Structure 1
Amino acid sequence: MSFHRMWRDLAPLGRDPRTGGYRRHAWTPADAECRAWFRAEAERRALAYEVDRNGNQWAWHGDPTVGDAVVTGSHLDSVPDGGAFDGPLGVVSAFAALDELLSRGARFTRPLGIVNFGDEEGARFGLACVGSRLTAGHLTREQAFALTDADGTTLPAALAAAGHDPEAIGPDPERLARIGAFVELHVEQGRALDLTDHPVGVAAAIWPHGRWRFDFHGEANHAGTTRLADRRDPMLPYAATVLAAREAARSAGAVATFGKVAVEPNGVNAVPSLVRGWLDSRAADRTTLDRVVSAVERAARDHADRHRVRLAVTRESFTPVVEFAHALRDELGRLLTRDGTRPPVPVLATGAGHDAGILAGSVPTAMLFVRNPTGVSHSPAERATEDDCLAGVAALTDVLEGLACR
């Protein structure tokens, strides 16, 4: 089956041999290898291949300019030491589903597109879904040009180094106008499906979520000679804020994580002058999320004042709750149950952001989830069984046939 060959060919690209995780960061050599793989798969099937103004890759069966196209796909980039399935499963499954439809002799009545959105994870520049945000107009050129990675490389410089024109980036309403429906298949990032007998589920909504940067400014000093009473150590209020975030999230039924931290001057024998931490928080609704983040900020300011440390908090990104198009979601359920001849599939919400969520304000979108037996994601331990992956391909095939081949 084509799925197995594609999965085998893609598996070694960008994999760290020490950790077994993936480092497919946007606009790096590993990302370029993945993009070359996508183009080769498009050309293998004689699909019309193109790269849009924001670096997203497209492969088309049929003429997309006629409009009302059905599009599927996901992303190929990863978080640091990410798993094999987050993103790539949706892209590989898209090509495999098309192969199955062609082998059935399906008659397409709508164009079918397969997409690889660029920089979905935001691992390099700190903002998720850059390719889809730019396309949908949720990220301005000015904001995009201000993005830098940990080495100080700007997004425009990275794009130029990868052979793309940074001056071309920006909203792409004409391309979005071609799309009648977008369906993204993704490995589940959680265990909701594992607690059922179902290998595949349908997404109901994406929780509102955002990222906030907490800058604790203290005073650099000698770790061996500075009295504890004389220190303005920003590490102390930062550490207390991490614990406060956990408690605020627990009490609200939400999630909050400080998963990234930068320290200056970052010396073993030095009291830091700056501790910068990034908070990721998500909740079932905007009111709860605001309450959690406000509680974390209040705690951070109290602890900073206690240690004579200055605090600055900056919201770097925010995505409101996404309710997927009910009509399309219900249509997926109908197609997967074959009008009631199969058991209904679970419909579940998720706390993870996706390109489908970004596009939801512009085109009808829906998502399919494939069971993850451990619930682990953003880790080399991320898993999905072969049988469940193939069940995902079969489900996506049925959905695409019902939407594009009627």
Structure 2
Amino acid sequence: MWRDLAPVGRHPDTGGYRRFAWTPADADCRAWFKEQAESRGLAHELDRNGNQWAWLGDPHAGEAVVTGSHLDSVPDGGAFDGPLGVVSSFAALDELRARGAEFTRPLAIVNFGDEEGARFGLACVGSRLTAGQLSREKAYELTDADGITLPQAMERAGHDPERIGPDPERLARIGAFVELHVEQGRALDLSGDRIGIASAIWPHGRWRFDFRGEANHAGTTRLTDRRDPMLSYAETVLAARREAELAGALATFGKISVEPNGVNAIPSLVRGWLDSRAADQESLDTTVTAIEKAAREYAERHGIDLTVVRESFTPVVEFEHALRDELGRILGARTDLTAPVLGTGAGHDAGILSGSVPTAMLFVRNPTGVSHSPAEHAAEDDCVAGVLALADVLEGLACK
């Protein structure tokens, strides 16, 4: 499975993946998922929001145990973030069948669409729509860098955008959702453990900073006569690092758009996107407030107009303690494995669904902690350990 999926959406120059929502690469990933489902005799289903489901047993029986993740990527992302969870889910089912496990609850494997938000700027679109955390009206307003709207992209890919919206009936049929994911950090590497159990997802969000100045000639405009928004933006980037350090939080300006974007032109607009996360809400609020305050001071000093828009936000997610403890009990019965409980600053579909169904996560060791990069990696024996751990969990939940 890993070899078959590996070439899909991989850029020949960077070695990174560009599997963006509703593109040909995304379609190839979806075709791969459908093939894996049907080759195992699973019923393949595409829901109203474009998420893929592979069912073993009656989808309408209720109390289903669901596992899976996503197949899309960030720009030039790694091979493991998302796909490891989907591949491991199919492999765990193969393992359970080899064990002769008898299922007493329906089992489903899911591929959530547009988890990374690389194309339309909002993460977890598929799960947000399903859980009612993204309205159809707001979804219709999402556009990519070429001005193509989400509904236009969906329609071009053969999916009816008129169908999108909350899917409470589907969520009501799920008894538990367990997502396996490569760890995006080095906690397991430092502890020497192959597998971890998630405790919580830090609160996090994305803010857009629009610095508007005045376009002018780079070779004839005196420095004192300039209204250069790049200066305010650059100072804000440095402020973000400073304020994050003071609060013990994380803050990143990782995306920028410049107009008119000419080498010999002073910009009229610099638009930067802030990603900020923290272990608690107070630290996050402190960080973002301080960054915005500094940005406004810099903008005023240089005669720049500033608009700040919060584009997305996810509060702290505490995974259901009962399900988390059940995972710990199941894995604790194994003498060859310890699975520490750890938090994460990365968002996931499991976090979005946590408000609607009991959710939990398993992490697989990442030896370098690098993620959202072509250098992202997990050793094969650790991935196998993840498959076996997931199989144990699914057996404990669905084969009682």
Give the paired residue count. Answer: 400
CA distance in 2: counterparts of 1:164 and 1:219, whole angstroms: 42
Return closer, same or farther for 1:303/1:119 CA change in 2, 3 Å cut-off.
same
Match of residue 344, structure 2, among 333, 345, 350: 350
What code does the residue aligned with 1:112 have?
L
Q: Is 1:223 matched with 2:221?
A: no
The aligned runs of 1:86-125 (5 Å cut-off) are: 86-125=81-120
Q: Is 1:381 matched with 2:378?
A: no
% same residue: 79
1:172 aligns with 167
CA distance in 2: counterparts of 1:379 and 1:397, whole angstroms: 28
Tell me the TM-score normalised to structure 1 length: 0.98
CA distance in 1: counterparts of 2:12 and 2:379, whole angstroms: 22
What code does the residue aligned with 1:11 have?
A
1:395 aligns with 389
Deviations 1:228-262 (CA, angstroms, capped at 9, x unpaired)? 00000000000000000000001111100000000
2:67 partner SS: strand
The aligned runs of 1:85-234 (5 Å cut-off) are: 85-234=80-229
Contact 2:195–2:338 under 8 Å retained in 1: no
Match of residue 34, structure 2, among 22, 39, 55: 39
State the 1:344 CA deviation: 3.8
1:404 aligns with 398
Contact 2:323–2:360 under 8 Å retained in 1: yes
What code does the residue aligned with 1:259 have?
G
2:60 partner SS: helix
1:3 aligns with none
Contact 1:336–1:342 under 8 Å retained in 2: no
Runs of 4+ in 1 over 2 A off after TM superposition: 340-344
2:332 aligns with 337
1:352 partner SS: coil
1:333 partner SS: helix
Contact 1:333–1:344 under 8 Å retained in 2: no
The aligned runs of 1:249-260 (5 Å cut-off) are: 249-260=244-255
1:303 aligns with 298
What code does the residue aligned with 1:158 have?
A
What code does the residue aligned with 1:41 have?
Q
CA distance in 2: counterparts of 1:119 and 1:285, whole angstroms: 26
CA distance in 1: counterparts of 2:335 and 2:78, whole angstroms: 35
1:267 partner SS: coil
What code does the residue aligned with 1:36 have?
A
State the 1:341 CA deviation: 4.4
CA distance in 2: counterparts of 1:252 and 1:368, whole angstroms: 28
Contact 2:188–2:366 under 8 Å retained in 1: yes
State the 1:197 CA deviation: 1.9
Deviations 1:125-174 (CA, angstroms, capped at 9, x unpaired)? 00000000000000000000000000000000000000000010000000
2:312 aligns with 317
CA distance in 1: counterparts of 2:337 and 2:359, whole angstroms: 23
| Alignment RMSD | 0.7
2:273 aligns with 278
Return closer, same or farther for 1:52/1:179 CA change in 2, 3 Å cut-off.
same
Contact 2:193–2:338 under 8 Å retained in 1: no
CA distance in 2: counterparts of 1:209 and 1:345, whole angstroms: 25
CA distance in 1: counterparts of 2:309 and 2:59, whole angstroms: 40
Contact 1:27–1:162 under 8 Å retained in 2: yes
Contact 1:234–1:309 under 8 Å retained in 2: yes
1:50 aligns with 45
CA distance in 2: counterparts of 1:332 and 1:153, whole angstroms: 42
Contact 2:194–2:385 under 8 Å retained in 1: yes
What residue ranges of structure 1 are gaps of 5+ in the alignment?
Answer: 1-5
Q: Is 1:238 matched with 2:246?
A: no
What code does the residue aligned with 2:194 have?
P
2:258 partner SS: strand
Deviations 1:369-399 (CA, angstroms, capped at 9, x unpaired)? 0000000000000010000000000000000
CA distance in 2: counterparts of 1:43 and 1:130, whole angstroms: 26
1:381 partner SS: coil
Match of residue 368, structure 1, among 356, 362, 367: 362
State the 1:64 CA deviation: 1.4
CA distance in 2: counterparts of 1:262 and 1:271, whole angstroms: 14
State the 1:33 CA deviation: 0.2
